[in-house]
Amino acid sequence: MNDDFKILLEFFDGDAQEVGGRTAAAIPAELREKIVRFANGKSSDDERAEMKKLFQEQPGLIPALVMETKAIRQPPE
């Protein structure tokens, strides 16, 4: 398995809801858009590398990525 996503997968195994709620409001709109593109797999290679580095430097952003990824995986209502 690729170690780049090890932390993300650990969040999926646990309950990141509480942590994610606290960090959601602190993320600027431009950064949130980048996280959404990353979660959707729509980032360029350069953007993907930038985001992986950002998540390593600021692990507090990972709950936002988890929430976006979970939202993508939810079946439409």
Give the predicted TM-score (pTM) of the model.
0.66
- Domain borders along the chain are 3-73
What's the pLDDT at 19? Answer: 47
How high is the pLDDT of residue 14? 61
Q: What is the pLDDT of residue 16?
A: 47
pLDDT value of residue 75: 72
pLDDT at 74: 78
Q: What is the pLDDT of residue 73?
A: 83
Which residues contact residue 34 at a Cβ distance below 8 angstroms, ignoring those fewer than 6 apart? Answer: 43, 47, 50, 51
Residues in the chain predicted with pLDDT less than 50, given as ranges, are 16-23
* Residue in 62, 56, 53, 52 with CA at minimum distance from that of residue 13: 62
Contact between 63 and 11 (Cβ < 8 Å): yes
